[in-house]
Structure 1
């Protein structure tokens, strides 16, 4: 590593040498967002940020979850006081992206 000039290059070389997608890590990250439920009284924005972080962690370990599926998982994880919103969403066959979902909630 003595000949490597930047920290980025060092990280790239280390990733090539030791980095590999762990099936166990992917499973653990996936389990986080599948089992996550919005806490009573928690702000919707905070819950969406938490879920987005879980999706990103899972993607870093090789899981692939498209945006439509992410929105569905988030809607199913919302607190019971959002039941009217989720029912309206599914009955009207809405198709929000993550940004629009955040704005609507």
Structure 2
């Protein structure tokens, strides 16, 4: 067993590396405990689901809003590869859709073409 001469060191305490490895598990266990406490008084699964939707639904709508905002304010910059710009836009449309946004393909193509540089006007 290695000794450590630092004041306040206790051999039973995890080292920095050990603490980092254990942290995600401890966090998940804490989250689980908190969610259990919050929902143990709810008699039905539908009440629990409604509570979870309320808790996490706000996060989903925030991500959806930020992603849609990104799509509608992002313009292609000089020197940017068209392929990279289009892939970036497609990625953000997919993120928005995975968080509940409904954007039809025609609208997606229109937005992508609209925000191309003027030198690509022939593609509009």
What TM-score bracket applies, with the shorter chain setting the length? 0.5 to 0.7
Rounded to whole Å, the distance in 1 between the matches of 2:79 and 2:61 is: 34
Question: Does residue 78 of the first structure (1) align with residue 78 of the second (2)?
Answer: no
Rounded to whole Å, the distance in 2 between the matches of 1:62 and 1:37 is: 24
User: What residue number does 2:90 align with?
Assistant: 52
Question: Does residue 20 of the first structure (1) align with residue 57 of the second (2)?
Answer: yes
CA shift, 1:41, in A, is: 1.7
More RCO (CA 8 Å, sep 6+): 1
Name the count of aligned residue pairs.
Answer: 72
- 1:29-85 per-residue CA deviation (whole Å, 9 max, x = no partner) reads 100101111111211111110000110111111111111100000011101111232
RMSD of aligned Cα (Å): 2.0
- Which consecutive aligned stretches of 4+ in structure 1 deviate over 4 angstroms post-superposition? 16-19
Q: Which runs of 5+ in 1 are unaligned?
A: 1-15, 87-105
